């Protein structure tokens, strides 16, 4: 007997064109099946679940109403785009999400024509969409451009910069504000839906236009009064006055899970012939349709593999504490002794561990929203008044505030402390979240202290060290995931600035590690010893200032010096090379090899496989050492 499919209608869909002729009841059935398929797929792969479940009906409606991919649909951030991927020819690969060689967890241009813009950081969709709309106008085309942006992403200044520009240019652009946190609008119902359909309809727009033409014959003061009266009257029944001031025609709020409400409004927006941008305010619920996700505080934003029936996540048992938790505990310990310590995060309290700090010190923890630029300068202001701000932020998110790091912190020499999470390669999130560049972009700044923790105990020491630095900016970086499992002190110790440590003494080869490649360096030294080669292993601790005495000693006493780091070219190895050159230490035949991330963006995969691809594991260190010596070395037999 053949098993009956749980997704019979979805099984008939290969691309969005297949659903354009569906009736409303079929679209509702498709939405339910799409939700079911999304839950099942993410239960196998892990990933972002809640956001995708919240936009299932919106996804179906968009691909039914708009002629994608000719019409562009841009998903801000992209972690809510799993249902979109299923409908756009990638269902047969959806269970490869975030796996090596599989689908990206975000939108990606190289993956599909239905992904017109790659995104993994927030608040870029309106800017990109406006660029596409202007390009369309310049080319004389007539396709539609739709940007879907969440209410959280609307906390970033870039979104408002783009809206301001769009309002001034008056290009035909549709922005859908996906309000899934109820932070902007109250619950919506039939009356709101009716008003939204009315206000977005051609008949209302024609009446409004006729009214404008009549008002044009009135004195200027009366024209302005009439314009404001109409605008605020619509604002009173639908909200959106702020968006109107930015030049958008506002429609909403409407129920984003009710296709009877969504479809006519989207059709009206699609068929609008006026040269202006439109904002449609849609209210949705994260995790919609899956009770465990609906009940969760974070709405199952990011999950491991889980059991669909119970929602229980199957996380591997940790052998060591997470670096993020070690940082949070260490900062709480320091803050308990120093009331001047405050913490700043940019909409990532749980991701950075500052939710724990906030529970202990609620008046000293500040979430600035998705506003990294503001967050850095806000911290600089705190520092001018004698406070000790720790800005906890992912490496790739800090890139968005580099101008503020340079001008508002570094040039003024303000003691802002940057706790840089997700340093190095990050596994399933891939290149968009990999902390590849922070050593390079921070160590190039005069006066900055730049540290990298080799293990969780070192991270505790670096939190204490940063707290003690009161005359200049500092940063310490640490990776995603678990530590190495060593014993932790009660409290971190303040490290001597610019001084490293030697963990293993040898004679022929010196391995100078910065960060968590130290454990691989020690493994490499063991392997080299079996081959008859003696290796020194040192932990630099500081990319800036360099431990010049340690580097001189390693250069003088060894034939080969290898530096290794989890960062891009231009970082620690480059600083070491420049010092060796200036100090004349390359003049006597020292063989130097720098090991760093390669000059490519490394795709999502298991972290160990990523570091294999980057050639930064123990075997690659051994290979580099032997090649530098220029001779074959046989393994020592037991």
Give catalytic residues, as residue numbers: 286, 372, 400
- Phi and psi dihedrals of 573, rounded to 5? -60, -40
Angle at the Cα of 282 from the Cα atoms of 281 and 286, rounded to 5 degrees: 135
Are 420 and 566 in contact by the 8 Å Cβ rule? The answer is no
354's tokens: 């500052």
**What 3-state DSSP class applies to 15?**
coil
**CB neighbour list of residue 136: distance below 8 Å, 6 or more residues apart:** 142, 143, 145
The residue among 268, 419, 239, 405 whose CA lies nearest residue 341 is 419
Can you spell out the DSSP letters for 336-362? HH-TTEEEEESS-HHHHTHHHHHHH-G
The string over 105-138, giving b where at least 16 C-beta atoms fall within 10 Å of a residue's C-beta and e elsewhere, is bbbbeebbebbbbbbbbbbbbbbbbbebbbebee
Sign of CA dihedral 425, 426, 431, 435: negative
Q: What is the largest CA-CA distance in the chain?
A: 101
DSSP bridge pairs for 81: none
* Backbone Cα Rg of the chain: 28
Are 616 and 597 in contact by the 8 Å Cβ rule? The answer is yes
Q: Is 431 exposed, middle or buried (0-12, 13-18, 19+ CB in 10 A)?
A: middle
Distance CA 430, CA 433 (A): 6
């Amino acid at each position: 007997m053949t098993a009956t499919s749980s997704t019979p209608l979805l099984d008939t869909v290969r691309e969005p064109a297949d659903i354009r002729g569906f009736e409303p009841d079929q679209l509702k059935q498709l939405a339910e099946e799409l939700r079911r398929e999304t839950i099942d797929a993410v239960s196998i792969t892990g990933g972002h679940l809640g956001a995708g479940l919240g936009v299932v009906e919106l996804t179906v409606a968009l691909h039914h109403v708009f002629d994608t991919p000719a019409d562009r649909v841009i998903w801000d951030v992209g972690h809510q785009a799993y249902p979109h991927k299923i409908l756009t020819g990638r269902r047969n690969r959806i269970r490869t999400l975030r796996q090596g060689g599989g689908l990206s967890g975000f939108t990606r241009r190289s993956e599909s024509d239905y992904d017109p813009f790659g995104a993994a950081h927030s608040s870029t969709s309106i800017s990109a969409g406006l660029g596409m709309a202007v390009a369309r106008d310049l080319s004389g085309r007539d396709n539609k451009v739709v940007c879907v942006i969440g209410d959280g992403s609307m906390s970033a200044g870039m979104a408002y910069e783009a809206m301001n520009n769009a309002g001034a240019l008056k290009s035909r652009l549709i922005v859908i504000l996906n309000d899934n946190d109820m932070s902007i609008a109250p619950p919506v119902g039939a009356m709101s839906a009716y008003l939204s359909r009315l206000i977005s309809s051609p008949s209302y727009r024609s009446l409004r236009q006729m009214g404008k033409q009549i008002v044009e014959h009135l004195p200027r003061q009366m024209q302005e009064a009439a314009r404001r009266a109409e605008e605020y009257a619509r604002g009173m029944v639908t909200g959106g006055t702020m968006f109107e001031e930015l030049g958008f025609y506002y429609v909403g709020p409407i129920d984003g899970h009710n296709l009877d409400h969504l479809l006519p409004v989207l059709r009206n927006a699609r068929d609008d012939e006026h040269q202006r941008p439109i904002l449609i305010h849609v209210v949705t619920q994260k995790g919609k349709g899956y009770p465990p996700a609906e009940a969760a505080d974070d709405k199952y934003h990011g999950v491991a593999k889980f059991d669909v029936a119970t929602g229980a996540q199957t996380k591997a048992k940790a052998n060591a504490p997470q670096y993020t938790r070690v940082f949070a505990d260490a900062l709480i310990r320091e803050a308990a002794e120093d009331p001047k310590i405050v913490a700043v995060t940019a909409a990532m309290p749980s991701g950075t561990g500052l939710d724990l700090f906030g529970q202990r010190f609620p008046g000293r923890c500040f979430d600035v929203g998705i506003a990294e630029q503001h967050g850095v300068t806000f911290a600089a202001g705190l520092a001018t008044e004698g406070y000790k701000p720790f800005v906890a932020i992912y490496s790739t998110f800090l890139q968005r505030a580099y101008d503020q790091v340079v001008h508002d912190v570094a040039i003024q020499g303000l003691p802002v402390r940057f706790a840089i999470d997700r340093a190095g390669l990050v596994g399933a999130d891939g290149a968009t979240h990999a902390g590849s560049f922070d050593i390079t972009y921070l160590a190039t700044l005069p006066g900055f202290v730049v540290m990298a923790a080799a293990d969780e105990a070192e991270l505790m020491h670096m939190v204490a060290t940063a707290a003690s630095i009161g005359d200049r900016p500092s940063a310490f970086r640490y990776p995603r995931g678990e530590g190495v499992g060593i014993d932790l002190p009660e409290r971190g110790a303040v490290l001597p600035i610019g001084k490293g440590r030697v963990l293993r003494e040898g004679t022929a080869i010196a391995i100078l590690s910065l960060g968590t490649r130290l454990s691989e360096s020690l493994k490499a030294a063991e392997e080299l010893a079996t081959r008859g080669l003696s290796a020194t292993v040192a932990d630099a601790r500081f990319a800036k200032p360099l431990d010049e005495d340690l580097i001189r000693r390693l250069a003088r006493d060894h034939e080969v010096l290898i530096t290794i780091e989890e960062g891009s070219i231009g970082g620690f190895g480059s600083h070491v090379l420049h010092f060796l050159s200036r100090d004349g230490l390359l003049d006597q035949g020292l063989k130097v090899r720098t090991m760093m991330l390669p000059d490519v963006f490394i795709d999502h995969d298991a972290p160990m496989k990523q570091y294999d691809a980057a050639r930064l594991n123990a075997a690659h260190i051994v290979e580099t050492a032997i090649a530098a010596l220029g001779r074959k070395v046989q393994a020592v037999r037991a």
